[in-house]
Copies of this chain bind each other. A is one copy, B any other.
Amino acid sequence: MSAISERRERERAHRHQLIITAARELAETEGWEAVTTRRLADRVEYSQPVLYSHFNGKEAIVSAVALDGFGELAAHLRRARQAAAPEEALRAVCLAYLEFATERPALYQAMFILPTDLTFASTETPPALRAGFDEFVSCFPPDNERRELFAEVLWSALHGITVLSESGRIPPDRQEDRLDFLVTRIAGAR
């Protein structure tokens, strides 16, 4: 393989990431409904068809953004857990989760609300998806046989709180009270 085609491959990989970050920025500033293939192509200064040489379709682009998001979420939760004392880990991780969701609403939408190509709970599940969930699991002692179940319910509750308050179905204030209640109730199971 020549040096030129190596360079082209590098440029291609770079452009691949450029599309992803452009989609994310556009979504974060103007919302996902503003992310059209035309506007996206404009942003990266290429024509529409090049998007399709990198991704199978718009859904695949959203999925790529979501995948990045899962990686960041996992790192964010991990930092929070490790910075806290063990008995405070549960609370810290939950707080970090709500922070992440409210500070990056567009990213969170790509991860949990918009339709994507990502497959969960399967052998092909990307590691980043698993990693975030594992942070919740790690808040419970290893000898607890039901820790996975606890983590699932905890995660569900946090997700529910996030989207119901985001969409105005429950009052947006009092988030801290909800967190308090949730953590103290669930922590008893630790």
Contacts and interface: CB of A to CB of B under 8 A. Distances in A.
A8 interface: no
A185 to B, nearest CB: 5
Nearest to A170: B152
Interface in A112-162: 112-113, 119-121, 146, 149-150, 152-153, 155-161
B189 A185 contact: yes
Interface residues of A, number: 33
Interface stretch (A13-21, A37-45, A76-84, A174-182): A174-182
The complex is assembled from copies of this chain, and their number is 2
B149 A156 contact: no
Contact of A120 (B150, B167, B178): B167
Interface string A20-58: 000000000000000000000000000000000000000
A162 to B, nearest CB: 8
B156 A160 contact: yes
Given A113-B113, A160-B160, A188-B188, A155 B181 contact: no
A149 B177 contact: yes
A145 to B, nearest CB: 12
Contacts of A157: 153, 156-157, 160, 182
Given A121-B171, A169-B121, A156 B185 contact: no
Ordered nearest first, which 4 A-B pairs have the shortest CB separation? A156-B160, A160-B160, A157-B157, A159-B160
20 contacts: A112-B167, A112-B169, A120-B167, A120-B169, A121-B169, A150-B181, A152-B170, A152-B178, A153-B161, A153-B181, A156-B160, A156-B161, A156-B164, A157-B160, A158-B160, A159-B160, A159-B163, A181-B189, A185-B186, A185-B189
Given A121-B169, A149-B181, 16 more contacts: A112-B167, A113-B113, A119-B168, A120-B169, A121-B168, A121-B170, A149-B178, A152-B164, A155-B164, A156-B161, A156-B164, A156-B170, A156-B178, A157-B157, A157-B182, A185-B189
